[in-house]
């Protein structure tokens, strides 16, 4: 506890690598357990974003204008360079979704939810932040002995990681450091680069995505509650940080359906979902309110010109809303029901005409609904397991889905 207090009163001190006991017990902080179910709302409420006049009555929330033209303040540190050659890849495989009751204990002493990515067939990469504040990585490479054991990537970190792959053989892992910067470690050309400080003054864990072989980007909520993003292009290296405004209460979620598109969805300080999208590779649309009443940061998935947002509501239910590029419109919020563990958002994955949404229940089990061509199964399937974090779903190998979470003992768990 004393260590927490020191961390709170010296928020801008750059720490050297702290000892393991700085992280404290693995139990979730109390704020994760506070949950106001009295705020349960109906579909009309969710589908009617509160107007600016509502927002202006509160000093702690901001208008659309504020989201769109924020004040500036952010210290960017020097951009860094990556280098790499090329290679394409992706082939279909048999359908193989996560199976109820089929769990693997992957060990470890994690603090936050694990992050996952795949760069192609027979490949999965799993990352988590360990109690010693280092990032650990484990990969699945197919064959008769598919898992390579946990590898200590080092670092002095302070958040769940975020990872993405820009093409086969290339990936990036990002984390908030103990010095509040984003730290980045690239993998490519058969080996790991070194950790690189990217600047920033992060408040929550970052979110990264790649829209294609030569592109990556990372987004973070900063100490000013605004969204900041920085992009990597293989030809020109890392750009400079861009202030994207907003008034965020939690980590952003970035997704892309391909070249030139990125959507970022956040939980605003007013509790609503807010979104901004880039359609042409360089211009962000104004922030738009999606309404809702979110209990935690949102999750999202984008594919073939559609973008689906899935959130845990303050009523404990999962709510989902889809943007369709063909029409340029958002559909209505769908109430999916459920009993989401407070503080943990659901996760949504999609491929082809399939979609799945997972949440961690108040009882610690994982729950799933599936859709084919937008037709959802009616009841939640209890997948069993025992996790305390949000689920991290991974659609890989064109039809396989694995879902990861962290158990109360810090071990990474996988439902496959
Ligand atoms: C998970 O694995 C770790 C390491 O092997 C072990 O210490 C722990 O007891 C396991 N947890 C359960 C619930 O089996
Ligand atoms: C996108 O969403 C619309 C409306 O929900 C649906 O009709 C369409 O099939 C979706 N597109 C894809 C590629 O799934
Ligand atoms: C999105 O819509 C724009 C304009 O209608 C179109 O040019 C573009 O190809 C669409 N992209 C996708 C991925 O559907």
- Is the pLDDT assigned to residue 189 strictly greater than 60? yes
pLDDT surpasses 50 at 75: no
Distance of CA 203 to the CA centre of its chain: 14
291: tokens are 């309404």
pLDDT band at 36 (very low <50, low <70, confident <90, very high): very low
Euclidean distance between CA atoms 369 and 380, whole angstroms = 5
Structure confidence at residue 19 (pLDDT): 34
Q: 62 pLDDT exceeds 70?
A: no
Q: How far is CA 26 from CA 108, 186, 212, in A?
A: 12, 28, 37
- Index of the ligand 2 atom closest to the CA of residue 353: 14
Helix (H) or strand (E) holding 53: helix 52-56
Tens of pLDDT along 119-168?
988 999 999 999 999 999 999 999 899 999 999 999 989 999 999 999 99
Most trustworthy range by pLDDT among 66-75, 235-244, 248-257:
248-257
Of ligand 2's listed atoms, the one at least distance from the Cα of 305 is 13
Query: Is residue 23's pLDDT more than 50?
Result: no
Share of residues in the chain with pLDDT > 90 (%): 61
pLDDT at 47: 52
Q: Dihedrals φ, ψ of 119, to 5°?
A: -105, 5
pLDDT at residue 173 tops 70: yes
Q: What is the pTM (predicted TM-score) of this model?
A: 0.82
Q: Give the mean pLDDT of the chain.
A: 81
Ligand 2 centroid distance, CA of 358 (Å): 20
Nearest to 309 by CA among 346, 257, 352: 346
Above pLDDT 70, what percent of the chain? Answer: 77
Name the residue among 144, 266, 260 with its Cα closest to residue 204: 266
Contact 368, 355 (CB under 8 A): no
- CA-closest residue to ligand 1 atom 6: 107
Pocket test for ligand 3, best of 325, 326, 329, 350 (most atoms within 8 A of CB): 325
pLDDT 10s digits, 285-327: 989 999 888 999 999 999 999 999 999 998 899 999 999 999 9
Residue 387: what pLDDT?
97
Whose alpha carbon is nearest atom 10 of ligand 2? 306
Among the atoms of ligand 2, which is closest to the Cα of residue 304?
13
pLDDT of residue 4: 54
What was the pLDDT predicted at 172? 97
Ligand 3, atom nearest to 258 Cα: 13
Is the C-beta atom of 52 inside 6 A of ligand 1? Answer: no
Give me the residue spans of the domains in the chain. 44-415
Mean pLDDT for 168-176 is 95
For the CA of 260, the nearest ligand = 3
Tell me the chain's radius of gyration from C-alpha atoms. 20
The answer to whether residues 131 and 121 touch, using CB atoms and an 8 Å cutoff, is no
The binding-site residues of ligand 3, defined as CB within 6 angstroms of any ligand atom, are 257-258, 305, 325
What pLDDT was estimated at residue 236? 93
pLDDT at 5: 52
- Looking at the domain that runs over 44-415, which CATH code has it been given? 2.120.10.70
């Amino acid at each position: 506890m004393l260590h927490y207090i020191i961390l709170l009163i010296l928020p801008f001190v750059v720490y050297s690598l702290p000892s393991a006991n700085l992280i404290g017990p693995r139990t979730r902080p109390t704020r994760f357990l506070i949950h106001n179910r009295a705020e349960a709302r109906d579909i009309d409420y969710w589908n009617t974003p509160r107007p600016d006049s509502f927002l202006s009555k509160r000093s702690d929330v901001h208008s659309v204008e504020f989201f769109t033209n924020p004040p500036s303040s952010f210290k960017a540190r020097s951009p860094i360079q990556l280098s790499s050659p090329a290679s394409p890849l992706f082939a279909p495989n048999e359908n193989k979704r996560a199976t109820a009751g089929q769990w693997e204990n992957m060990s470890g002493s994690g603090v936050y939810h694990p992050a996952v990515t795949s760069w192609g067939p027979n490949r999965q990469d799993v990352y988590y932040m360990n109690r010693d504040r280092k990032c650990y990585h484990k990969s699945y490479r197919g064959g008769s002995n598919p898992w390579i054991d946990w590898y200590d990537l080092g670092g002095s970190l302070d958040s769940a990681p975020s990872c993405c792959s820009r093409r086969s053989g290339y990936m990036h892992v990002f984390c908030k450091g103990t010095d509040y910067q984003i730290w980045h470690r690239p993998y490519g050309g058969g080996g790991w680069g070194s950790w690189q400080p990217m600047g920033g003054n992060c408040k929550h864990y970052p979110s990264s995505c790649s829209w294609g072989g030569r592109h990556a980007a990372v987004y973070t909520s900063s100490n000013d509650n605004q969204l900041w993003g920085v992009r990597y292009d293989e030809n020109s290296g890392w750009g400079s940080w861009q202030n994207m405004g907003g008034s965020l209460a939690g980590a952003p979620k970035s997704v892309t359906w391909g070249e030139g598109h990125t959507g970022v969805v956040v939980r605003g300080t007013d509790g609503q979902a807010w979104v901004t999208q880039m359609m042409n590779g360089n211009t962000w649309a104004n922030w738009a309110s999606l309404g809702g009443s979110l209990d935690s940061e949102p999750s999202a998935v984008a594919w073939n010109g559609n973008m689906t947002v899935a959130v845990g509501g303050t009523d404990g239910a999962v709510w989902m809303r889809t943007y369709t590029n063909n029409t340029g419109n958002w559909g209505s919020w769908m109430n999916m029901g459920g009993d989401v563990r407070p503080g943990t958002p659901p996760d949504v994955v999609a491929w082809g005409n399939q979609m799945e949404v997972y949440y961690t229940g108040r009882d610690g089990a994982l729950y799933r609904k599936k859709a084919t061509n937008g037709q959802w199964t009616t009841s939640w399937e209890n997948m069993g397991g025992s996790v305390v974090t949000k689920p991290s779903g991974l659609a890989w190998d064109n039809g396989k889905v694995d879902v990861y979470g962290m158990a109360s003992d810090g071990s990474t768990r996988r439902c496959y």
